[in-house]
Amino acid sequence: MEIGLNHYLVLSTILFAIGLVGVMRRKNLLLLFFATEILLNSVNIAFAAISHFYGDLTGQMFAFFVIAIAASEVAVGLGLLIVWHKRHGNIDLDTLSTMKG
């Protein structure tokens, strides 16, 4: 069976949905970051697939930059997580409610 663009897009969407589930469900901040990584990766797949099927390199370029940004985001995010852990002793999401309205 011919694998077309739609297959990759459906795959990407499924992965994105899984990532959304993780973002909404996880209470541990670290595991939340994992789910964010899943989101980014699914989008990368979509970019690469579209790039391949339309013969355009723009998608791959974008995927590069997404990877770069994801990496730096992890660095900064983990740094912040460490500071928070030092202050509060845990990284439970429910304690992160100082922005209560």
Residues of this chain, 5-24, that bind other proteins according to CB under 8 A? 5-11, 13-24
CB of 32 to other proteins, least distance (A): 8
Interaction of residue 100 with other proteins, rule CB under 8 A = yes
Could you tell me the two tokens for 44?
Answer: 């990368």
Residue 28: strand pairing partners: 92
- Residues from 40 through 59 that contact other proteins (CB under 8 A): 41, 44-45, 48-52, 54-58
CB of 72 to other proteins, least distance (A): 3
Torsion sign over Cα 10, 63, 48, 37: negative
CB of 76 to other proteins, least distance (A): 5
Interaction of residue 88 with other proteins, rule CB under 8 A = no
Residue 42 CB neighbour total at 10 angstroms: 20
How far, CA to CA in Å, does 3 sit from each of 46, 51, 64, 100?
A: 14, 15, 24, 48
